[in-house]
Amino acid sequence: MPTAFINGHNMYYEILGEGDPVLCMGGWGTFCHDNHHHLARGLTDRYQVILFDYRGICDSDDDLSQPSTMALHADDAIGLLDHLQLKKVHLVGLVGMGACIAQEMAIRRPDLARSMLNTGAWCEVDDFLRDQLEMFRWLHRDAGFFAFQKAVTLLSFTPEYYNLNKDKLLGPQGGWKELKDRYEAHSRLIDACVNFNSRERLANVKCPTLVIHAALDQVTSPRTTLPIEHAIPGAVGETWDDLAHVVAGKEQKIRFCERLFAWLESH
């Protein structure tokens, strides 16, 4: 798969499938490489799906002289879409940082945004969210990757799912594996997250927007996602009472796929 020099760094990206373009962005990781199974099942059969590695993760490098901001990451994604000569792209931002990047893109380049979906996100950082994000930073720095991995996993899944799947969620091939031995890259991603604020600018979003509120999310709960819905003109919001930070389990994944495909097809 190709690498392009975009916005001052070498960016690794993948294009899967054919059809209308969909840019998928997740949290502190990547959908690329061996992570395609984390995409909504059937998405690449119906759409042209664009994926990329964030700066410092896997096969994308980073220019450490540039402060890490959500605007920088949005400019990376915008640069990729411009490089591919794409317009009117569905922006699918899932589980945190990807959703924030999607907001920034929709604000900066409305010509690129055909629709937007946000889950597990925020548009401003209060003390509680900031301290949670900083907790993940010092856990990774002071206690190591696996302590961070366990903490973030405990806060991202329901107890029932964790109890059934602990062995595959933790360890070298578990969640957030792209951050292992990459503390500096992780810390820079956290920099972008803790300093992000779009609330006063979301009124400029013109594309149709769906915000899913995860009632069981212990990090980005409806407390942080409802303000996104309220700030974007015409945004649609849905609360899922059984959803934690990450869509998990067969039933939830099927329901999410059905909702995502209905959303994309309607726009």
Domain assignment present for 13: yes
Among the listed residues 114, 116, 52, the one whose alpha carbon sits nearest the alpha carbon of residue 89: 114
Per the structure, the complete domain to which residue 260 belongs is given by 3-123+197-265
Tell me what percent of the residues of the chain surpass a pLDDT of 70: 100
Which pair of structure tokens corresponds to residue 174?
């578990």
Overall number of domains in the chain: 1
pLDDT given for residue 95 in this prediction: 87
Domain assignment present for 208: yes
Reported as a pLDDT band with limits 50, 70 and 90, residue 260 is: very high
Q: What is d(CA 54, CA 168) in angstroms, rounded to the nearest whole number? A: 24
Domain assignment present for 153: no
Domain assignment present for 74: yes
Domain assignment present for 178: no
**200-216 pLDDT, tens digit each:** 999 999 999 999 999 99
Which pair of structure tokens corresponds to residue 135?
């907790």
Reported as a pLDDT band with limits 50, 70 and 90, residue 90 is: very high
What CATH number is given to the structural domain containing 59?
A: 3.40.50.1820
Domain assignment present for 53: yes
- Residues in Cβ contact with 259 at an 8 Å cutoff, skipping those fewer than 6 apart: 212, 238
Side chain identity, residue 20: D
Q: Does the predicted model carry a pTM greater than 0.85?
A: yes
Domain assignment present for 155: no
Q: What is the mean pLDDT of residues 9-23?
A: 96
Q: What is d(CA 155, CA 195) in angstroms, rounded to the nearest whole number? A: 21
pLDDT given for residue 1 in this prediction: 62
- φ, ψ for residue 96 (rounded to 5)? 100, -115
Q: What is the mean pLDDT of residues 65-77?
A: 96
Reported as a pLDDT band with limits 50, 70 and 90, residue 48 is: very high
Domain assignment present for 149: no
Distance set, CA 62 to CA 12, 50, 190 (Å):
11, 20, 15
